[in-house]
Structure 1
Amino acid sequence: MKSIVEVDNLSFRYDEQSEYAIKQIGFHVKQGEWLSIIGHNGSGKSTTVRLLDGLLLADSGRILIDGIPVEEGNLERIRQKIGIVFQNPDNQFVGATVEDDVAFGLENQGLSRPQMVERVDEALALVGMSEFKEKEPARLSGGQKQRVAIAGVIAMRPDIIILDEATSMLDPHGRLEVMKIIQKVRQEYGLTVISITHDLDEVSLSDRVLVMKKGQILLDTSPKGLFSQEIDLLAYGLDAPFSKKLQEELQKAGFLPEFGYVTEEELGDKLWQSLSIR
């Protein structure tokens, strides 16, 4: 499968800083893949995704989005291919109602009224917010607001969706609901997902994970590879996912034999097998 994102020898420094925020990093993302980027605050995660979208322009190196270089003359084309969901959805709302807000970006694309209505209805149905289309966004819960923000991105039909700490302000139930929606949207449209996060339960859903520190990539591996290694996750400002903690407690209590990291679903299967034998 082809790479839809290619980053080569990328460096960037903010004007007011002497140190580089990003130092000669390189990676790729395949079409349809889910890549998580994790690390301490200040590790370069958010700077990296702003460079991908052209919100910042690199000092050196190269970024290709679906073969198009990220540079001044191509930014409009690049942004048609990428949709971003930020940490605080309130900062993205511009419409008086949920329906108006999701339709806002479509107006700029010059779609006909019937096309806009069809896309808005489809996007709201996909995130489970159809019944709220006439509501004011400000009156929604945090999780509902984030669903609407995702619907606004989906309606634009991008190739890539970037989640920039999009679940960090939600409670555990809200985070889980949003992640289920992202999985559903990804399967429905074959979207490529790039997730910036501190939540390793979210990371466990992805295909690959980059660990960043001080503007550089320390690890490029799978979630299973990350959690299986003897890595001090706390040293990177991270915590083990719930499934790993549960696995360790069950093994200490003698309910499970010792084995390497497994996903939440695999853990459930192993626990069921263990209890069936007893």
Structure 2
Amino acid sequence: MSDALANGPAPAISVRELCFSWPKGEQVLKSCSLEVPKGEFWMLLGTNGSGKSTLLRLLAGLLQPNSGEIRVEGQMGFVFQNPDHQLVMPTVGADVAFGLVEEKLSFGQVKTRVREALAAVNLEMLERRPIYALSGGQKQRVAIAGAIARHCEVLLLDEPTALLDPDSQLDLVAQVRSLVKSRAITALWVTHRLDELNYCDGAFLLEQGELADKGDPERLKGRLLAL
């Protein structure tokens, strides 16, 4: 375990010397190492092309590293930047239930899981609402509810507020923080919005595929504002 986390909770996400290059040879991550403590909300910062989204996709198993080690404790849920890329069913309730098809649950168990998950993201009144009728922020909450219904312990979010209006942005990040604290979920959130740092427990800064800094979000915010 790293010195920064030696006295804190055990890591739910651990990355060791991770390297990744695209097939044509462009190196994206260079010996990247980091840890996210269990039950905490951390953010991943960096300019475009720094490797933030690539790292998240490696953690989710959507890409395979060239070398290095990835350890994630618990089932993962992934929330894309554009929720339309992952909401596949016509209604809110059906979409949240979709991820449960492989668990061989009874109809009653599925209904309970769906209702509990929607209540966790304050969408319990929209179970029958068509997906097309939702706002962007509501769609992102449905995606998060799908992960909660599957009892995911680790939540990976790739710039989930990028397509939202300012009010919806902060509403969503506050919602995720509440879930992390009330349900002992571990979250890693990719962002470039400094105001979102007010809600996290810690942050990582990537520069050109390497971990440049980590720790207190206010200190990192000050460093970035000074650039």
* More moved, 53-62 vs 106-115: 106-115
CA distances 1:8-58 after superposition (whole Å, capped 9, x unpaired): 111000102x33100001111110111110111110001111111111111
TM score, norm. by length of structure 1: 0.75
May I ask how many residue pairs the two structures share in their alignment?
A: 219
Q: Does 1:92 align with 2:99?
A: no
Q: 2:5 aligns to what?
A: none
Could you tell me which residue of structure 2 aligns to residue 178 of structure 1? 172
Aligned residue in 1 for 2:36? 29
- Which residue in 2 is equivalent to 1:115? 109
Mapping 1:192-207, distance limit 5 Å: 192-207=186-201
Match of 2:3 in 1: none
* CA–CA separation in structure 2 for the residues paired with 1:81 and 1:131: 27
Deviation by residue 1:124-175 (Cα, 9 ceiling, x = unmatched): 1121111211111011111111111111111111110011000111111101
Whole-Å Cα distance in 2 between the matches of residues 45 and 234 of structure 1?
Answer: 21
C-alpha separation in 1, matches of 2:166 and 2:86: 22
Alignment of 1:186-265 (within 5 A): 186-228=180-222, 231-233=223-225, 235=227
CA distance in 2, matches of 1:91, 1:19: 26
Aligned counterparts of 1:234 and 1:14: Cα–Cα separation in 2: 32
% identity of equivalent residues: 39
1:83 alignment partner in structure 2: 77
Counterpart pick for 2:61 among 54, 75, 79: 54
Check whether the contact 2:83–2:140 (CA below 8 A) recurs between aligned residues: yes
Partners of 1:217 and 1:10 in 2: how far apart? Answer: 11
Large movers: runs of 4+ above 4 Å:
none
Please identify the structure whose Cα radius of gyration is greater.
1
Question: What are the within-5 Å matches in structure 2 for residues 117-132 of structure 1?
Answer: 117-132=111-126
Q: Given residue 148 of structure 1, which amino acid in structure 2 is its aligned partner? A: V
2: CA distance, partners of 1:203 / 1:3: 20
Q: Deviations over 1:72-120 (max 9, x none)?
A: xxxxxxxx71101111111111112111000000112222211111010
1:11 pairs with one of 9, 19, 28: 19
Displacement after TM superposition at 1:234 (Å): 7.4
* Corresponding residue SS for 1:58: coil
Residue of structure 1 aligned with 2:48, choices 38, 41, 44: 41
- Is the CA contact 1:90–1:138 (under 8 Å) kept in the aligned structure 2? no
SS state at 1:204 partner: helix
SS in 2 for 1:143: helix
**Partner residue in 2 for 1:151:** 145
Give unpaired runs (5+ residues) of structure 2.
Answer: 1-8
* Structure whose residues are more often strand by fraction: 2
RMSD over equivalenced CA pairs, Å:
1.4
Q: Write the letter of the residue equivalent to 2:139.
A: K
Which one has more relative contact order, counting CA pairs under 8 Å at least 6 apart?
Answer: 2
For 2:219 and 2:185, how far apart are their aligned partners in 1? 24
Cα distance, 1:227 vs structure 2: 3.1
Q: Which region of structure 1 is more displaced relative to structure 2, 162-171 or 178-187? A: 178-187
Is the 1:82–1:158 contact (alpha carbons within 8 Å) kept by the matching residues of 2? Answer: yes
Question: Letter of the aligned partner of 2:49 in structure 1?
Answer: G
